[in-house]
């Protein structure tokens, strides 16, 4: 059984250990140590990296109760010196504990419980059990402010195993089902450092001065101040609940610099000052909408004229044709097809634009073949999808060379129905 140093002390960077077994995981060498400070992947937190006996550690996984240190090189044996990548470890400590503070604030202020957490390479996410309408931007702002208030207070963080009596006395945010290691944030006693003002910032404290207590096997700092800051980047609907994206610590500064860079590039593209970008973007969107409407009007007129030429070429039966630019895209095909349908004819049209084959089928209202079903079959021949109503349907696919077959299939389908 490997002694897990990280559970007792997340700050251990270097340690000596003995290789007790050499394994293989997915074709890569892996070692089991008698003691380790490397955190294995789990609980939404990625594993640590570093070196074992000078060999780089690619990842750490727990498999069948064993902590496997997967290596990017030959497995060492015997006594080894090990080192944890501290920059990665501390970043993970900041993100993970920041999540605890944010989750506690979201539950306390908004009644939103965290059901899962993911620590990504650039940002983190937590999933809540309530929809976005229950939270809103104002609620997210309140939770963010409450989490940062606890960071500023630089409160004590204690992560250790608890006795049954201690567990019973703690106001746990969630039930301890996988062990008794609890991460507790204490507000401090009146007059102690970090104690003043906590009640106003985060609600009434527990009689034992506990403001957050959660079961967790991850790595955490000794004080909330080491989180640095918590920044909520946004939220979106995720299933029946909400996914919140956030960053903590040094990642907040990285996110700020990235946002500044994007804003500067947008300002350069609009040829305006950064502060003028929102107005410039709104103006560009309005102009684009106006141009699109104008283009659609021109394509509609051109489509009506082209429909007359197609009618002259095919006096009876469905009009089957492959259109050329500028009518070969979805908008142009629809303009011609609807013009033909308005003149009492069934249109089975196709074209190639943007590396995809496009289809548009239309017919007059009333009794007739189901063009939605016909189009789905034809689009499948293009390796794509499509659909619509019995009277008007559109679709596309990447197999441009199959456009002729797709149109022939549609003609056969329509003519069989008419027969």
pLDDT in tens, 13-67: 999 999 999 999 999 999 999 999 999 998 889 999 999 999 999 999 999 999 9
Look at residue 178 and tell me whether its pLDDT is greater than 80.
no
Of the residues 206, 240, 257, the one at which a domain ends = 257
Residue 345 lies in a domain: yes
Rounded distance, CA 227 to CA 221, Å? Answer: 8
DSSP structural state of residue 224: G
Residue 126 lies in a domain: yes
Rounded distance, CA 121 to CA 255, Å? Answer: 12
Q: What is the mean pLDDT of residues 194-205?
A: 43
- Compute the mean pLDDT over every residue in the chain, rounded to the nearest whole number: 91
Task: Encode burial over 387-398: b for 16+ CB neighbours within 10 A, e otherwise.
Answer: ebebbbbbbbbe
Q: What is the mean pLDDT of residues 268-292?
A: 93
**Structure confidence at residue 129 (pLDDT):** 96
Considering the domain architecture, whether residues 37 and 174 belong to the same structural domain is answered as no
Considering the domain architecture, whether residues 308 and 186 belong to the same structural domain is answered as no
Considering the domain architecture, whether residues 116 and 225 belong to the same structural domain is answered as yes
Considering the domain architecture, whether residues 99 and 234 belong to the same structural domain is answered as yes
Considering the domain architecture, whether residues 97 and 181 belong to the same structural domain is answered as yes
Residue 35 lies in a domain: yes
Q: What is the mean pLDDT of residues 59-88?
A: 96
Domain around 236 = 90-257
What band does 418 get if pLDDT is binned at 50, 70 and 90? low
CA distances from 283 to 264, 277, 297, 332 (A): 18, 10, 21, 26
Residue 281 lies in a domain: no
What band does 417 get if pLDDT is binned at 50, 70 and 90? low
Considering the domain architecture, whether residues 253 and 343 belong to the same structural domain is answered as no
Cβ atoms of 187 and 101 closer than 8 Å: no
**Structure confidence at residue 208 (pLDDT):** 44
Considering the domain architecture, whether residues 75 and 102 belong to the same structural domain is answered as no
Look at residue 210 and tell me whether its pLDDT is greater than 50.
yes
Considering the domain architecture, whether residues 137 and 235 belong to the same structural domain is answered as yes
Nearest to 416 by CA among 347, 318, 287: 318
Residue 265 lies in a domain: no
Considering the domain architecture, whether residues 127 and 56 belong to the same structural domain is answered as no
State the CATH number of the domain containing residue 250: 3.30.980.10
Residue 280 lies in a domain: no
State the CATH number of the domain containing residue 75: 2.40.30.130
Considering the domain architecture, whether residues 26 and 153 belong to the same structural domain is answered as no
What band does 179 get if pLDDT is binned at 50, 70 and 90? confident
Considering the domain architecture, whether residues 101 and 72 belong to the same structural domain is answered as no
State the CATH number of the domain containing residue 317: 3.10.310.40
At 93, phi and psi to the nearest 5? -60, -45
Residue 284 lies in a domain: no
Considering the domain architecture, whether residues 243 and 319 belong to the same structural domain is answered as no
Cβ atoms of 172 and 215 closer than 8 Å: yes
What domain count does the chain have? Answer: 3
Of the residues 84, 114, 129, the one at which a domain ends = 84
Could you write out the DSSP letters of every residue in 383-417?
A: T-EEEE-SSEEEEEES-GGGHHHHHHHHHHHHHHH
At 174, phi and psi to the nearest 5? -150, 160
Of the residues 47, 67, 84, the one at which a domain ends = 84
Strands (E), 92-201: 114-119, 124-128, 156-161, 181-186
Give the least confident one: 111-115, 189-193, 220-224, 242-246. 189-193
Residue 227 lies in a domain: yes
Rounded distance, CA 263 to CA 313, Å? Answer: 54
């Amino acid at each position: 059984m490997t002694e897990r140093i990280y559970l007792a002390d997340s700050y251990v960077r270097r340690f000596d250990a003995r290789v007790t077994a050499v394994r293989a995981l997915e074709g890569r060498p892996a070692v089991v140590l008698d003691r380790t400070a490397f955190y294995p992947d789990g609980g939404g937190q990625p594993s640590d990296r570093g070196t074992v006996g000078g060999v780089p550690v690619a990842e750490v996984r727990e498999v069948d109760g064993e902590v496997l240190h997967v290596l990017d090189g030959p497995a060492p044996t015997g006594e080894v010196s090990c080192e944890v990548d501290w920059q990665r470890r501390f970043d993970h400590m900041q993100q993970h504990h920041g999540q605890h503070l944010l989750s506690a604030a979201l539950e306390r202020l908004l009644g939103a419980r965290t059901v899962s957490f993911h620590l990504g390479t650039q940002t983190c996410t937590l999933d809540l059990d309530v929809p976005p309408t229950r939270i809103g931007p104002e609620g997210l702002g309140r939770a963010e402010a409450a989490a940062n208030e606890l960071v500023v207070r630089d409160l004590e963080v204690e992560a250790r195993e608890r006795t049954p009596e201690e567990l019973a006395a703690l106001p746990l945010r969630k039930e301890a089902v996988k062990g008794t290691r609890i991460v507790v944030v204490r507000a401090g006693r009146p007059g102690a450092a970090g104690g003043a003002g906590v009640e106003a910032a985060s609600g009434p404290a527990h009689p034992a001065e506990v403001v957050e207590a959660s079961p967790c096997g991850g790595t955490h700092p000794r004080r909330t101040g080491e989180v640095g800051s918590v920044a909520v980047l946004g939220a979106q609907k995720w299933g029946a609940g909400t996914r919140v994206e956030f960053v903590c610590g040094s990642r907040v500064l990285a996110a700020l610099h990235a946002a500044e860079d994007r804003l500067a590039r947008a300002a350069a593209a609009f040829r305006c000052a950064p502060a003028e970008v929102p107005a410039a973007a709104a103006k560009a969107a309005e102009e684009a909408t106006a141009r699109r409407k104008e283009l659609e009007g021109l394509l509609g007129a051109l489509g009506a004229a082209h429909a007359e030429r197609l009618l002259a070429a095919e006096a009876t039966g469905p009009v089957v044709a492959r259109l050329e630019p500028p009518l070969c895209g979805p908008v142009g095909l629809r303009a011609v097809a609807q013009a033909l349908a308005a003149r009492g004819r069934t249109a089975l049209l196709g074209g190639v634009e943007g590396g995809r084959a496009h289809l548009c089928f239309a017919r007059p209202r009333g009794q007739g073949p189901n063009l939605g079903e016909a189009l789905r079959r034809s689009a499948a021949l293009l390796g794509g999808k499509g659909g619509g109503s019995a009277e008007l349907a559109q679709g596309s696919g990447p197999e441009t060379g199959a456009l002729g077959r797709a149109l022939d299939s549609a003609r056969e389908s329509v003519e069989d129905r008419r027969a």
